[in-house]
Amino acid sequence: MNRHITVVTLIATIEVALSAMLLHAAPATSGANPDEIHQRIESSCVAIITRSLSSNTIRDCDDCTIEMNLVPNCRGEPLNVVLVLLGYANPAIPEAQWNRAWTKSAIDALRLSDHPNTRVGIVYVRSTASILLELTDAEDRVRARSNVVYASAGAGGDWPCFSCGFQKAAQVLKEVDRSNSVIVYIGAMVGRPLIDPDDETYYRDWVKGTRTAKTAADILVVGCPFRLFSCKDWGDWWKEATRGYYFEGLQQGAFERAVEDIVEETTTTTAAELTIHEIIPPELDYIPGSARPDLTSFDPVTGRALWQRPGATITNGHPISFTYRVEPRGSLRIPSAVSFEAGRAVLTDTLRRSREIRVPASFLTITEPCAPIVTPSPSPPATATPPTPSATATPTATPTPTSTLIPGPVYLPLGLNEAPCTREQRADVVLVMDASSSMNEPTEGGYSKLEAARLAAAAFVARLNLSEGDQAAVVAFNSDARALIGLTSDPSALTRALDGIAVSSQTCIVCGLKAASEVLESDARINSNEPVIILLTDGRSNPRPVSEAVTEADRLKEAGNVIFTIGLGDDLDDGALIDIASKPAFAFRAVDGSALEAIYREIAVTLPGPADCYWGRR
């Protein structure tokens, strides 16, 4: 987690810089290049990349177009924030109002709708502590649960247990990376020192709690909203905050900016450069000038081709294409099989961290030589035959030669009494995404199943004609289901919704279908658009039986909805996914995440056309 917040001393600045360097650098031997150390941390940028050939078989005189498609996604680093809210306020002054204002400032600064990688939990502290909210990216839930009740400290012997509160915060963060975690405490250091300065019980409890907090989180932010006098007058308790992250009284604006800085520097990571490396097989020749965009470099001896693209031209979820043409070499043995295996893409982010993505292998077969062009031989000039004098003999008739027929193709015309369909059918599409825990499992491409699904779905959204009336929505399901965004034509909002999918346990497929049904029955629905549901899952339905999902799917199909299913991985109920789909051909199977982009692309061109149109989508 990088930190660039301004502090007042040179020592603090150096300390923060060193902390950031140590956080991102792996242990190294003496004399190692710091940039090389930095590169050992993989970028959070991921991508799906495919290679396709215009034809898998050609003759030795043909050429072939190679196209590589890449869908990038730089999601940034995840950030986990726990708000520890002290439940005490003096009723004689507007202390509760101050506390609420600072809590609102913290949530405003997090801007969860703009930072889908940020998750927030809430802990409430009085004489005991309780977890009001586990980590979530749902801003409405965060705001609702942060509206806590305040009591007067000491009433009925009710004094705070700071260590209890920070232990609960550490519990919320127990399964996440400490380097991407922050604890924000809002409240004063209330305790017996206000009554008996010699009693350090509560101070020791505070120190114990804050030490626990700093083992669970990289930064401890302390905000004391009290405005009548300095909170520092209550002792050295404030020094337990991370250097540069203590704020009080009238510093509410500085407190909010500090939280904003943490979020921006942690979660906002974009692509700085994309490099595509391709090795053209030795059996083939690159056709000069055929690359689009132009090659950055090409070595005709090794066949190494290189494209470089600056980050300014890379947009999350938008496909990027590279094409070139090749032809067989003249000395090639026929038939011959050619393999493309050495392709790779390297995404480098703004923190100078890189991730390498391999291009799947592709195969091309040169089947036969082209038939030689046959030039017909000229016929000899006709020789004049002298007239035959009147013969006394009867001439013998010359037999007529009989030709041998060679079978060949016969082409018969076919006429259809219908005009070609020139209209496109607009669609309302609900992307129903599995968000079960198993979606965090890695794929062969180096990213998780969920990341692969996000990228493929984002590429699908990019293929929709949103500006002409198409709409899409995103539903995520695990033990339950909810719409992350309803039907919309805003591509940025859809991308943020896909990035905001958070995993949890269980796979309630029927929940996902019911949530999709609610979306398609909402006021945002365009009645003239085709209602479409694309359900993706990597597992078997639980805790509710899959039979419920099949029943719900039957109801949806009877109501006119078109359903596609995508099964990811090998632990699936294939029969049920076929039953859920509108027809068997609409049930797809992806062995690995790298196949998802091609499946979504096929669905995009399979979406039903207008009911009264026949050509193209009969």
d(CA 553, CA 133): 33
d(CA 193, CA 535): 59
d(CA 585, CA 149): 56
Q: Is the pLDDT of residue 387 over 60?
A: no
CB 116, CB 496: distance < 8 Å:
yes
Higher pLDDT, 378 or 473: 473
pLDDT, tens digit, 9 for 90 and up, residues 476-506: 999 999 999 999 999 888 988 998 898 888 9
Report residue 17's pLDDT band, with 50, 70 and 90 as the boundaries. very low
CB 57, CB 367: distance < 8 Å:
yes
Report residue 396's pLDDT band, with 50, 70 and 90 as the boundaries. low
Report residue 514's pLDDT band, with 50, 70 and 90 as the boundaries. very high
**Dihedral (Cα; 220, 221, 224, 229), 10-degree rounding:** 100
Please state the rounded mean pLDDT for residues 580-584.
Answer: 93
Q: Give the list of residues 6+ apart from residue 177 with CB closer than 8 angstroms, or none.
A: 78, 80
CA distances (Å), 3 to each of 18, 42, 77, 292, in order? Answer: 10, 19, 14, 41
Q: Is the pLDDT of residue 541 over 60?
A: yes
| Cα-based angle 424, 431, 437 (whole degrees, multiple of 5) | 160
pLDDT, tens digit, 9 for 90 and up, residues 439-462: 988 876 667 889 889 888 988 998
3-class DSSP state of 320: strand
d(CA 143, CA 103): 9
Most confident of 268-272, 513-517, 614-618: 513-517
CB 86, CB 160: distance < 8 Å:
yes
Report residue 529's pLDDT band, with 50, 70 and 90 as the boundaries. very high
Confidence (pLDDT) at 335: 85
Please state the rounded mean pLDDT for residues 32-36.
Answer: 34
Q: Is the pLDDT of residue 385 over 60?
A: no
Q: Is the pLDDT of residue 594 over 90?
A: no
Report residue 90's pLDDT band, with 50, 70 and 90 as the boundaries. confident
Both tokens of residue 410? 């016969």
The pLDDT mean for the chain works out to 81
Under DSSP, the state recorded for 73 is: E
d(CA 378, CA 393): 36
Report residue 21's pLDDT band, with 50, 70 and 90 as the boundaries. very low
Helices (H) and strands (E) in the chain, counts: 13, 24
Confidence (pLDDT) at 97: 92
Report residue 271's pLDDT band, with 50, 70 and 90 as the boundaries. confident
Helices (H), 130-238: 139-145, 162-172, 201-216
d(CA 252, CA 225): 7
**Least confident piece of the model among 131-135, 290-294, 570-574:** 570-574
Q: What are phi and psi of 142, to 5 degrees?
A: -60, -45
Say if residue 454 is exposed, middle or buried (CB neighbours under 10 Å; 0-12, 13-18, 19+). buried
Q: Is the pLDDT of residue 105 over 70?
A: yes
Helices (H), 54-200: 95-110, 139-145, 162-172
d(CA 572, CA 575): 9
pLDDT, tens digit, 9 for 90 and up, residues 297-338: 999 989 999 999 887 778 777 888 999 999 998 877 888 889
569: amino acid identity, one letter: G
Under DSSP, the state recorded for 594 is: G
Both tokens of residue 397? 């008739």
Confidence (pLDDT) at 171: 94
d(CA 604, CA 428): 12
CB 236, CB 207: distance < 8 Å:
no
Report residue 395's pLDDT band, with 50, 70 and 90 as the boundaries. low
pLDDT, tens digit, 9 for 90 and up, residues 158-181: 788 999 999 999 999 998 888 889
pLDDT, tens digit, 9 for 90 and up, residues 130-153: 999 999 989 999 999 999 998 887
Confidence (pLDDT) at 153: 77
Confidence (pLDDT) at 326: 95
CA distances (Å), 497 to each of 437, 442, 460, 583, in order? Answer: 18, 21, 14, 29
Taking every pair of C-alpha atoms in the chain, what is the biggest distance, in angstroms? 157
Q: Give the list of residues 6+ apart from residue 537 with CB closer than 8 angstroms, or none.
A: 434, 436, 507, 509, 512, 565, 566, 567, 568, 572, 577
Please state the rounded mean pLDDT for residues 509-520.
Answer: 96
First to last CA, the chain: 55
Helices (H), 237-304: 252-267
d(CA 613, CA 420): 8
Higher pLDDT, 197 or 293: 293
Q: Give the list of residues 6+ apart from residue 240 with CB closer than 8 angstroms, or none.
A: 206, 207, 210, 211, 220, 222
pLDDT, tens digit, 9 for 90 and up, residues 402-423: 545 555 555 455 444 444 444 4
Confidence (pLDDT) at 377: 57
* The model's pTM: 0.43
